[in-house]
Structure 1
Amino acid sequence: MAKDKDLHDKIHKTEEGIVKMLRDTDRPGIESLIGWLKGTDYFDAPASTRPDYHGCHPCGLVEHSLNVYTLFEQKVQQFSLEVEPDEIVIASLLHDACKIGQYVPNRLKSGKLSEAKPYVIEDDLPLGHGEKSIYIISQHFTLTPTEALLIRWHMGPFDEAWEQWEPRVGKACPAIYAFHNSDQEASKYLDEKVTK
């Protein structure tokens, strides 16, 4: 029971911090997005489906998003990249919006959560990873071109279309490399894994 209370407290504290970060962007439509996020599993959703992947636990999605924010903010400063502070917040916290409501508990016949694959994907809108995130966010407000490019291409070479589009994306948004690396570094080095 204490573990459940600790998790509830962690979710509540994290939710307050993320809501403040989003609200501080002062973006028209941000309150609509915040209201929508509060009605979803965003604040307690996992970031992946398997224990050997990053964030395969409650709160994994927001843990990952905050880690990406921290790393990307550092890289923007380090490399003097032309990304506004609110663009860092929006791209980092919402780049994986496509995962909201998508990972459902994989319960065995016994009712226990599967240890091998605790979550399964149920995707009723298979638009693609970055594309779906952009679609979801766009229901609430308009992304800047930088935000849209960062979110769409954050998977870098793990996206089948990357090889064809990379030269143009890199020219239009040089920060994409730092954002992709922030996403990868967060998932490989900072995000909690259930098994290593």
Structure 2
Amino acid sequence: MNPKNEFTELYQTHIHRPGADKLLEYLTSKNSDFFTAPASTMFHGDYDCGLVTHSVDVYHCLCDYLSRSRCISHYNMKYSDETIAIAALLHDLCKINCYKKYMRNQKNDMGEWEQVSAFKFEDPEPYGHGEKSVFLIGKFLRLTNEEAYAIRYHMGFSGGEDPRNVGKAFDKYPLAFALHVADMEAAHYVDDKVELEIETE
């Protein structure tokens, strides 16, 4: 199943609160490039459809993380399917309409210069990162406090935030930490299909 179809299926299966249909309608409209945009300019998901691919990858990573017995029994991380889907699938809406294609010079394997397609970041609505995603989602559907904090602080300590606020958010809303872990796992190990070699005895 391609990422767009998987995203849509997960979204329609799990997200049902008022406004959900309107938000999906916006994501699929000509006013949004969510399903074709990259997730970054040169890091994870720096290719066409990288953003939706990353969003689906984060969903699966978050589900796996929250299924750990320790998360359930020790940390009481018990969330509805809807909350998990909202946090994971929508955490990076801030990247919609921010990446533009252009041509740049790059040396190939032979050491010769050639023009290659690349992306540059130009945010038409500079409202931050996690907070911008919360803002955009809020135009369509109401988030719970935990969902909003999780999306707001999904970059964790690497997002240029006041570390005291990040720590407080993680302490108060464990979903924020879980989403951060899932986001990092997807970005570093899954989005570009990096195969991890597991040593066996």
Structure 1 runs of 4+ aligned residues shifted over 6 Å read: none
**Higher fraction of strand:** 2
Q: Which has the larger radius of gyration?
A: 2
Gaps of 5+ in 1: 1-9
Q: Deviations over 1:108-141 (max 9, x none)?
A: 59xxx964x7111111211110011111111111
1:68 equivalenced with 2:58 (yes/no): yes
* Aligned ranges 1:43-54 → 2 under 5 Å: 43-50=35-42, 53-54=43-44
Q: Normalising by the residue count of structure 1, what TM-score does the alignment of the two structures yield?
A: 0.83
TM-score scaled by structure 2? 0.81
**Could you say which structure has the higher helix fraction?**
1
CA offset digits 1:18-38 (Å, max 9, x no partner): 222222221110010010000
1:77-156 matches, cutoff 5 A: 77-78=67-68, 79-80=71-72, 81-108=77-104, 115=116, 118-156=118-156
Q: How many residues align?
A: 177
Q: What do you get for the CA RMSD once the two structures are aligned? A: 2.1
Cα distance, 1:17 vs structure 2: 2.5
Alpha-carbon distance in structure 2 between the residues aligned to 1:162 and 1:82: 27
Find the aligned partners of 1:114 and 1:134 in 2 and give their Cα distance: 37
Distance 1:114 1:32 in 2: 40
Alignment-mate amino acid for residue 192 of structure 1: D
> Given residue 191 of structure 1, which amino acid in structure 2 is its aligned partner?
D
How far, CA to CA, are the matches of 2:150 and 2:170 in structure 1? 10
Counterpart residue number, 2:34: 42
The one-letter code of the counterpart of 1:103 is: Y
SS of aligned partner of 1:41: coil
CA displacement at 1:83 relative to structure 2: 2.1
Distance 1:108 1:71 in 2: 34
- For residues 164 and 177 of structure 1, the distance between their equivalents in structure 2, rounded to whole angstroms, comes to 14
